[in-house]
Chain A
Amino acid sequence: MKKSIIKLGLLAAVLSFQTGCNTSLELDPTSVITNESFWKTEDDARGGLTSLYVKQRSLASLNLFIWGEARSEVMEWGKVSGTLDYDRYYLNTLSSVSAGPSWQAVYSAINDANLILKYVPNISFANEVNKNNILAQAYVSRAFLYFVLVKTWGEVPVRTEPVEGAEPEVIQKARSSQEEVFTLIKDDLEKANSLFSSYGFVKSRNYWSKAGVQALKADVYLWTAKRLNGGNADFQTALTACDEVAKADVSLLPNYADLFKYGNKNNKEVIMAIGNKEFEVGNNYFANLYSSRLPNEIDPTTNEIIGQTSGGMVWTVTDLVKNQFKDGDLRKAASVLDMPAPGFYPTLILKGRGTLISGVRYFTSDFVIYRYADVLLMKAEAKNGLGQDPSTEMNLVRQRAYGTAYEANKFVNGSTVQNDQAILQERLLELMFEGKRWWDLVRFHKAFELVPTLKGKADQKHLEYFPISEQVLSLEPLVEQTDGY
C-alpha cells in the first residue's frame, strides 16, 4: 500500500512537472520583435519606414559618393597617407577583383521598402493621409534606390517583393534590362506622386516629399532622355517635373557658403537631404577628405577650421578641377581650402566638415540628394534638350555664385552643344563633392573626354558602369558580369 502511494505520488509529480514544462517551451521574446507580431499597427509602419531611412543613410555615408563622384576627374590621391584603395576609382582601374562596394546595402534598403509596400496597405490608420504618406515615401525611396543601381551597374536584378525565405527561386535573380528597371522606377514615381497629398514637407527636408519625387523624376527622365533614347518626350517630362518642384517651399539661398554651415541644415534650398546626427551615425565620406595631422606651426584660424579629426586624408581634389573656378567665383572659398604647408597637407574639402565636440570632429553634415540649384540646372538641361534658351536658370545660379562679379560671368545662350557644355561645367562647380559628378559625366556622355584616367578608352563603353565583384558573382550564380569587364 505504502509503495503504491509512493508510486502514485511519483507519477503525479512527474506528470505535473511535465505539463508545466511543455507549456514553458512556448516562450515569447521581450527585446526583439518576431515577424509574426510585427506589421500590425501604425507605429510598426513608422518604425519600418525609419529603418528605410537608416539604410538610405548608410548608403550616403560613403557609397553614394563612390558611385556618383569618385571616378570623376574631381578626385585624386591625397599623398600623405594610404589610398584606402580609393585609387581604383579615380584611376579607373576597377575590375571584378577590385570592384568597389557591393550592391547588398542598396537591396537591403529596397527590401525595407518592399516590406512596407507589402504590409502597410493592410494596416488600418486613424488618418488615411498618414498611411499614404508612408507608402509614398516607400515608393519614392525604392525608385531612388533602383535609379542608383541602374546608373551604377546598368542591368540589375529587380525585386519588388520582400525576401522572406531562402527558397532558391526567391533568392536567386538574374539581371533585368535597363528598360525594365526604368519602367519600375517611373511607375513608382507616379504612385508616390499621387499618394502625396500636397507639396508640403513631411516632417523636415530629411524625408522624401512630393518635391523630392519631382526632383528625382526630372533626374530620371533626363537620364532616359539622354541615355535610353527618351528624346523630347522625356526632356519635356523632366522640364515639367522641375517646374513642379518650384511649387514647394524652396528657393536659392542668397549666400552659397551658408548652404554648408552645420547649423543651417534643412535650409530652404534643400529639397531632400539624408539626415545625419552625431552619436546616431558614424563619420561620412568627408572624414577621409580631411587632414588628420597638423603641421608643426599653424595659424589659429586654420587650426580652428581643421580641429581634430580622425580622417586619413586619403584623397583630395585635383588641381585640374580646383583651377577651373574662375576669379570671383565665391563657391571656391566655400568648397576648398589650401593649407599653408602644401608639401604635407593637400587641399581640404570644406563642404562637409561637420561639427567639433570635445576636440573631436564629427563628420555628420547632411548628404544633400537634391537642392534647388541642382533642379535649376536640370531645368536648364531639359530646356536645352528641347532647344529652348536655358539662360534664366543658368543665370540664377551664376548670380549667386559670382556676386559682384556676376556681370562678367553672365551666361549667354549659345548652341545646344555649347549650352550642354556650359551646363555640365556649372554643375561641376556648383555641386562639387556632392556625389553628382560621375553620373553627370555619364549622362552627358563626357566621361571619356573629361576624365584624364579614361582618355583614349572611349571604345571601352563598359567603363561607364561598375563591374560586379567576384564575391558577388560567387554568391549569385544567375548574375552575369557587367558586359565588357
Chain B
Amino acid sequence: MIRNIQLKLSKSSSNKEDTISSSMYLNRIALLLFFVCSSFLVYAQTTVTGKVVDRDKNPVSSVTITEKGTQNGTSTGEDGTFSLMVNSNQSILVISAIGKKAIEVPASSSTLAAISLENDDTNIEEVLVVGYGTQSRETLTTAISKMDEKVLENVSFANPASALQGTVSGVRVQSTSGQPGAAPRVIIRGGTSINNPNGASPLYIIDGVIRSNMNDINADDIASMQVLKDAASTSIYGARGSNGVVIITTKSGDANRTKVEYSYNLTSSNVGKLYDVASARDYIYYSRVGAQVAERKVPGSINLLTQPSGFGTGNDLTNNTGFTTQYLTDANKHKLNEGWQSMADPTDPSKTIIFQETNWQDVLFQNSLSHDHHLAVSGGTDRATVNASIGYMKSDGIAITTFYDRISANLNSDLKVNDKLTVNGKMMYSYSTNNVVYSDSELFFRAANLAPTAKYTFEDGTLAPGQARNTGNPVYYLNKRDNKAATENLTLALSADWKPIEGLTVSPQVSLYKVTGDNYVFTHAYLNGVGNVNTTRPASSAYNKNMQTQADLIANYTKSYGNHTFDAMGGFSYFQRYIYGFNASGQGAATDLIPTLNASSTPVSVNGNETIFAMVGYFSRLNYNYAQKYLLSLTARYDGASNLGANYRWGFFPGVSVGWNMHKEDFFVNAQPYLSTLKIRASYGVNGNISGLSDFHAQGSYAVGSRYLDESAVQNTVLANPNLKWEQSKTLDFGVDLGFMDNRFNILFDYYNRRTDDLITNLTLPPSTGFSSISTNLGSLQNKGIELELNADILPRTSALGWNVGFNISTTKTKILKLPDNGTLNNRVGGVYVWNEASNGYAWMGGLQEGGRIGDFYGWQQDGIYRTDAEAANAPMDLTMPFADKTKYGGDVNYADLDRNDTLDTRDLTYLGNPYPTVTGGFSTSVNYKGFSFYARMDYTKGHTIYNYAKIFLSGLWAPNLNIPQEMIDRGWKQDGDMAERPQYIPGTANYSYWRGSAYHLSSTNSEFYEKGDFLTLREVTLAYQIPSAWTERFKLKNVRVNVTGSNLYYFTTYTGLNPEDGGTDQGRYPIPRNFSVGLKAAF
C-alpha cells in the first residue's frame, strides 16, 4: 500500500536482495502499518519459532513477523519470541519493526533463534524520487530534501502544503490566511522574481502530473513529499524548474496483503491572537477628548461630539441610529438595568453618557470544530495491486460562517500483464466547497475593531448593521450573503513500464488533470448603515475550467560493467493547458429567497474567456558511478513554449553534478565509526522560467469588455514584446553529507548561488507613455544562501527509548545585480529621494536598483513625542501636514529631521525594513518508548518587516467609528509633560502625527508601525499511543493508534498584529487558528 510507483520501478530492475536495503522512510511507514498484523486465513503446515534480539542480545517485543506472499503473520511478545505456522519450511519470513530495517529470513534458517534488527535511520539509504525516476541518496549528487513523514501523521491538514513549513530546508512556507483550506505561500530558495517575489511558486509534480499548486489533496493519501532545489536536479523540468520543484507521490497498493485502514481526526480550533483594543469607556473618553483637540486644526471637529456616531451623543433608542452612546434621559434610563453602562461626559462632566459595550472580536470569532475521516483499502496479488481510499473533511473556520468541506477519493492500481509489461492506472478526485468572507480587510481589520458602542441589536431585537458594510456588525453582514464556491479536481493517468530487454525500461504516461470551479454570490437586501436600505441584491455566478493534458515517454537503461554503473534516461514530454470560463452578474431581484442569477431583473455584466498554452520538451539524463565512490550526473532539456515570441521559443537547459563518497574509500576505514559518512557534491545547472507570462503575452493584446454608451471598446492593454525570451537562472550548489557514530548523527549541508538573467518582469514605464508597464527581459537577480539539516538519534540504538532530534536552517540573500540601462544611477526604477547619511547628501534609495533588494520600506523616523507645546514649538516645519497652520503641539510625534534643514518632507524618509524573510527553519524532536511516542515541532522565520497598517489606521482613526488600540491609551501622551511613546489620540483628519498624506499612507508612515515579523512558533505537539495488539485483537482490530495533538499553539513574536508570518502591509488578516485535536487510526 505504501510503496510508490517509482520505488517499484527501481526494485523490479534490481536484484531481489535489494529489497532488504530499501528505503528507510518507506519501510518505516510500511512497518507501522504492518504492526501487529496477523492473517485472516491460516492454513499453516509448519510451525516456526524464533526470537528477535537487539545488538546486546536483549529481547525485542512487538516485532512483526509475516510469511512472505501471504497475509499470515504474528508479532513477538515481551520476551522477544514468536511462533508462527507457515505453509512450508521453504517459506520466507519478513521480520520488521518500527524504526528498524526489515529483513527476510527463510523459515528453515538456523539464525531464527537470535534474529537481530538494525536501526533504520540513515539518510544515506533513502530512495529519492528525482525528476522522471528515482535514485538512492547514496548516489545522489544534487540538492534534494525529503519531508519527514511524521509531519503528516498527526495534524489534519486541510492543505498539505502547510506540512512543508519548517520541515524542509530551503523552503519558505508562510501561512498568510487562517481560512480553512487556504494555500500557504511556498517559495523555494527565495524565488526568481523581481516584481512579484511572493508569486514565485514552485512547480508541483504529483504522481508525474505537473500542477501549479497542491490544493485539495488529502494528506492521508500522500506517500512522500520532497523538494528539488538546485538547478542540476530541476533542470530536468527545464523551462519551469527555476523556482524549485515539489514532487509528491501518493500511496499505492501492496502485493499479498489486504488491509482496511480507517482514521479519524477531531479538531477544535480557536483564534490564537486578538487585537488589543480599548474598552467602550476608554473609547468614549479618549475619543471625546481627542475630538476637542482636533478642533484646533480642523474647525468643526467638535460637531462629532453630538453626531449619531460611535462616541457622539446624537444617538437614541430608535432604529435611526447605529450606536448606543447617548446622554442619560428619563426615556433611556431603564437601559442601565439591562447591562448598559454610564460615565460622565469628559467634555461636560455635568452630563452622563450611557452606552452598551460589545466586543466585536467575540462576535466575529468562534470556537470551531473540524472532522477528518479517511478510509483506505489496499491489497493485491503478485499480478495486481490496488489502493483505494476515500476521505471526507469538514472544517469550520474560526471566523463565523467560514468553512471548507472536501470529499476526496484516490484509486491506484497496477496490473502485471507479463514479465515485461506492467500497467498502472490512477485516479485522484476531490470535490471541495468553501465559504470565505467578502473582504479580509473589512472583516479582520475593520469589523473586528468596530466601535465598541455600536449597537449589536436594535431595541426590537433585530440585528443592527454597525457603521456600514465595510465596518459593520459581522453577524449581520456575513449572514446577508450567500456564497457558494465549489472546486472539483480530477486526475486520471495511465502509464506502463515495458522492459523489452534486460536493463531497459520504457515508460509512457498519459494524463489528464482537470480543475473546475463554480460559484455564486448573492447579497440580500441590507442596511448599509442605519437608514440606508440597499435593495440592489447583486448576484453573480461564474464557471471556469482548467484542463491539462500531458503525455510523457521515458526510456531508462541501466547497465553495470564491474564497478562501472550507468543509468541513462531519455524522454519526451508534451503539455497542454486549456482554460475556459465565463461569469455573469445581475441585480434587482425582488426577493432574498433566490440567490441564483435567474432572480435578477437587470443584467449588469457578462464575461468569458478561453485560452490555451502548450509546451514540448525533450530531456535526458546520464548517471554514472564507479563503485558508488565517484558519482556523475548529466541532465539536459530542450523546451519550447507557445507563449514566447517565435524567435525565442526554444530554450536549452543543461545540468551537471558530481559527487564523491569518501567513506567508500579504503583509507576512510580509520575514521569509522566516528565519522561514518562523508560525501561531497557539487552541481551546476541552468533553468528556465516563464511563469507570470500570460498565454499570448509576447504578441501584445487588445482587450474587450469596456463599453462607452453600449458600444464595445477594444483597448490596447498589453504592449507587445516580440523579443520576449526565456528567463534563465544558473545555480551553483556545493553540498556535504556527513554521518557520525555509525550514522546516528547526520548532517546535510548545501550552499547555493543562483543568478537569474533576463528576468521576465513588468518594467515600470514612464507614466507619460500611458502604460504602467511592459513585460520584458529585465536585468539579473542573485539569490544565495546556505541550508543545513541536522538529524540525530540522541540515545544509542540499543536503547529501548528512542530519541530523535532534527533541526534545519536556511538563509536567502537576494540582490539585484543588473537592470536595463535607463540613464539613471544604478539604472534605478522608482524609489524615494532621501537624505543619505553615508554620502552626506541626497540620494535616490529603494525602488529597484542595482545592488539593492526588492521591496524596501521607507518611512519617517519617530524620535519621540513632544512633551510640551514649548518643546513642539521648535519642531521642524512639517510640509506633509495638510493644514495651512503648521504649528505643532505637545503630544505630537517628533519626527527626525534627518537632513537637518528644519523642514520635514519626503527627503526625511528612512529605511525601515524589507518584507521578505531571510532566515527560515525548524526544529523537531520525537521520543519513542514502547507504544508511546511524543513528537514536537517548531519553526521560525526571520528578517521580514510588517507594516502594521491596521494599527496605525486605528491609532489615527482614518475612518469613522473604529476603536482605539489599547497602546494608544497605555503609552499615549495625555497631558503636558508626559513622557510618552505614542502621540495624543486625535480622531480623524486632524491626526497629522500619523496621517502623512494619501500618497504615502499605504507605504510610508511612522517608523513605529514597521514591526519585525520574526517569529518562532510551536507548530505541533503530539502524544501518541500505539495500543498493543494483544488488547485490540479481540475486537478484530489491529494497529490501533490514538494521538492528541496541538498545533499552531503559540507564536513567540513581538509583532502586535494577528498573523506575523507574512511580511509587507498588514491590512487585516484571517488569524491562524490554534488547534487541538484527537486522532484515531485503526486497521482491520
Q: Which residue numbers of A lie inside 8 Å of B, CB to CB?
A: 3, 6, 10, 13-14, 17-18, 21-22, 24-27, 29-36, 38, 44, 46-48, 50-51, 53-55, 57, 77, 79-85, 87-88, 91, 93, 95-99, 102-112, 115, 156-157, 159, 162-166, 168, 171-173, 204, 206, 275, 277, 279-280, 292-294, 296-297, 308, 310, 343-344, 357-360, 453, 469-479
* Leading 7 A-B pairs by shortest Cβ distance: A47-B714, A104-B767, A108-B770, A79-B300, A34-B699, A107-B770, A111-B770
The reply to whether A33 and B702 contact each other, CB–CB distance below 8 Å, is: yes
The reply to whether B999 and A471 contact each other, CB–CB distance below 8 Å, is: yes
Closest to B706 in A: A54
The reply to whether A18 and B616 contact each other, CB–CB distance below 8 Å, is: yes
Query: What are 12 A-B residue pairs whose CB atoms fall within 8 Å in the complex?
Result: A24-B642, A25-B615, A31-B610, A33-B703, A33-B714, A34-B702, A48-B716, A88-B882, A104-B770, A159-B769, A470-B833, A476-B767
Picked from A51, A53, A293, A479, the residue with its CB within 8 Å of the CB of B768 is A479
Known A-B contacts A35-B720, A163-B771, A358-B535; A293 and B529 likewise in contact (beta carbons under 8 Å) = yes
Question: Distance (Å) between the CB of B864 and the closest chain A CB?
Answer: 23
The reply to whether A50 and B713 contact each other, CB–CB distance below 8 Å, is: yes
Known A-B contacts A51-B706, A54-B715, A469-B999; A171 and B765 likewise in contact (beta carbons under 8 Å) = yes
State which of B181-189, B682-690, B822-830 sits at the interface with chain A: B822-830
0 or 1 for each of B968-999: is its CB under 8 Å from A? (1 = yes)? 00000000000000000000110000000111
0 or 1 for each of B563-588: is its CB under 8 Å from A? (1 = yes)? 00000000010101000000000011
CB neighbours (8 Å) of A206 from chain B are 708-709
Closest to A156 in B: B768
- How far is A475 from B764 in the complex, measured between Cα atoms in Å? 8
0 or 1 for each of B518-561: is its CB under 8 Å from A? (1 = yes)? 00000000001111111111000000000000010100000000
Q: Would you call B382 an interface residue if the criterion is a C-beta within 8 Å of the partner chain's C-beta atoms?
A: no
Given contacts A107-B769, A297-B320, 12 further A-B contacts (CB under 8 A): A3-B501, A10-B506, A25-B614, A50-B712, A82-B959, A85-B999, A97-B1000, A109-B770, A292-B532, A359-B534, A360-B534, A474-B829
CB neighbours (8 Å) of A469 from chain B are 999
Picked from B316, B551, B709, B716, the residue with its CB within 8 Å of the CB of A115 is B716
- How far is A154 from B139 in the complex, measured between Cα atoms in Å? 71
Question: Which of B528, B572, B706: most chain A CB closer than 10 A?
Answer: B706
Question: Distance (Å) between the CB of A50 and the closest chain B CB?
Answer: 4
Q: Would you call B598 an interface residue if the criterion is a C-beta within 8 Å of the partner chain's C-beta atoms?
A: no
The reply to whether B766 and A171 contact each other, CB–CB distance below 8 Å, is: yes
Picked from A26, A83, A308, the residue with its CB within 8 Å of the CB of B532 is A308
Q: Would you call B740 an interface residue if the criterion is a C-beta within 8 Å of the partner chain's C-beta atoms?
A: no
The reply to whether A57 and B708 contact each other, CB–CB distance below 8 Å, is: yes
Within 8 A of A (CB), among B704-762: 704, 706-716, 719-721
CB neighbours (8 Å) of B822 from chain A are 168, 172, 477
CB neighbours (8 Å) of B721 from chain A are 165-166
Question: Distance (Å) between the CB of A100 and the closest chain B CB?
Answer: 9
The reply to whether A275 and B574 contact each other, CB–CB distance below 8 Å, is: no
Determine the main DSSP class of A at the interface with B. Answer: loop
Question: Distance (Å) between the CB of B729 and the closest chain A CB?
Answer: 22
CB neighbours (8 Å) of B308 from chain A are 293, 296
- How far is A26 from B318 in the complex, measured between Cα atoms in Å? 68
Closest to B884 in A: A91
Question: Distance (Å) between the CB of B961 and the closest chain A CB?
Answer: 10
- How far is A292 from B960 in the complex, measured between Cα atoms in Å? 12
- How far is A6 from B833 in the complex, measured between Cα atoms in Å? 70
Closest to A468 in B: B767
CB neighbours (8 Å) of B615 from chain A are 25
Closest to B1000 in A: A97
Q: Would you call B641 an interface residue if the criterion is a C-beta within 8 Å of the partner chain's C-beta atoms?
A: yes
The reply to whether A111 and B771 contact each other, CB–CB distance below 8 Å, is: yes
Question: Distance (Å) between the CB of A408 and the closest chain B CB?
Answer: 36
Q: Would you call B906 an interface residue if the criterion is a C-beta within 8 Å of the partner chain's C-beta atoms?
A: yes
The reply to whether A344 and B770 contact each other, CB–CB distance below 8 Å, is: no
Q: Would you call B934 an interface residue if the criterion is a C-beta within 8 Å of the partner chain's C-beta atoms?
A: no
State which of B230-238, B327-335, B601-609 sits at the interface with chain A: B601-609
- How far is A31 from B612 in the complex, measured between Cα atoms in Å? 10
The reply to whether A82 and B989 contact each other, CB–CB distance below 8 Å, is: yes
Question: Distance (Å) between the CB of B502 and the closest chain A CB?
Answer: 13
The reply to whether A29 and B614 contact each other, CB–CB distance below 8 Å, is: no
Q: Would you call B701 an interface residue if the criterion is a C-beta within 8 Å of the partner chain's C-beta atoms?
A: yes
The reply to whether A50 and B711 contact each other, CB–CB distance below 8 Å, is: yes
CB neighbours (8 Å) of B704 from chain A are 32-33, 47
- How far is A112 from B308 in the complex, measured between Cα atoms in Å? 49
- How far is A109 from B713 in the complex, measured between Cα atoms in Å? 13
Q: Would you call B815 an interface residue if the criterion is a C-beta within 8 Å of the partner chain's C-beta atoms?
A: no
CB neighbours (8 Å) of B605 from chain A are 279
The reply to whether B769 and A294 contact each other, CB–CB distance below 8 Å, is: no
- How far is A344 from B829 in the complex, measured between Cα atoms in Å? 46
Question: Distance (Å) between the CB of A194 and the closest chain B CB?
Answer: 25
Q: Would you call B879 an interface residue if the criterion is a C-beta within 8 Å of the partner chain's C-beta atoms?
A: yes
Picked from A91, A110, A166, A476, the residue with its CB within 8 Å of the CB of B719 is A166
The reply to whether A108 and B771 contact each other, CB–CB distance below 8 Å, is: yes
Picked from B530, B536, B711, B821, the residue with its CB within 8 Å of the CB of A359 is B536
Question: Distance (Å) between the CB of B64 and the closest chain A CB?
Answer: 44
The reply to whether A172 and B766 contact each other, CB–CB distance below 8 Å, is: yes
CB neighbours (8 Å) of A33 from chain B are 701-704, 714
Question: Distance (Å) between the CB of B778 and the closest chain A CB?
Answer: 9
Closest to A44 in B: B714
Closest to B958 in A: A82
The reply to whether A474 and B882 contact each other, CB–CB distance below 8 Å, is: no
The reply to whether A168 and B997 contact each other, CB–CB distance below 8 Å, is: no
The reply to whether B769 and A163 contact each other, CB–CB distance below 8 Å, is: yes
Known A-B contacts A34-B720, A359-B534; A27 and B642 likewise in contact (beta carbons under 8 Å) = yes
CB neighbours (8 Å) of A99 from chain B are 999
Question: Distance (Å) between the CB of B26 and the closest chain A CB?
Answer: 32
The reply to whether B642 and A14 contact each other, CB–CB distance below 8 Å, is: no
CB neighbours (8 Å) of B958 from chain A are 82
Question: Which of B700, B703, B721: most chain A CB closer than 10 A?
Answer: B700
Q: Would you call B1008 an interface residue if the criterion is a C-beta within 8 Å of the partner chain's C-beta atoms?
A: no
The reply to whether B719 and A165 contact each other, CB–CB distance below 8 Å, is: yes
Picked from A22, A97, A168, the residue with its CB within 8 Å of the CB of B616 is A22
Known A-B contacts A18-B572, A31-B611, A359-B533; A102 and B702 likewise in contact (beta carbons under 8 Å) = no
Closest to A98 in B: B997
- How far is A172 from B822 in the complex, measured between Cα atoms in Å? 9
CB neighbours (8 Å) of A478 from chain B are 823
Q: Would you call B880 an interface residue if the criterion is a C-beta within 8 Å of the partner chain's C-beta atoms?
A: yes
- How far is A172 from B704 in the complex, measured between Cα atoms in Å? 28
- How far is A389 from B702 in the complex, measured between Cα atoms in Å? 53
CB neighbours (8 Å) of B706 from chain A are 50-51, 54
The reply to whether B608 and A31 contact each other, CB–CB distance below 8 Å, is: yes
- How far is A97 from B858 in the complex, measured between Cα atoms in Å? 14
Picked from B537, B768, B771, B880, the residue with its CB within 8 Å of the CB of A476 is B768
Q: Would you call B321 an interface residue if the criterion is a C-beta within 8 Å of the partner chain's C-beta atoms?
A: yes
Q: Would you call B832 an interface residue if the criterion is a C-beta within 8 Å of the partner chain's C-beta atoms?
A: yes
The reply to whether A166 and B699 contact each other, CB–CB distance below 8 Å, is: no
The reply to whether B768 and A14 contact each other, CB–CB distance below 8 Å, is: no
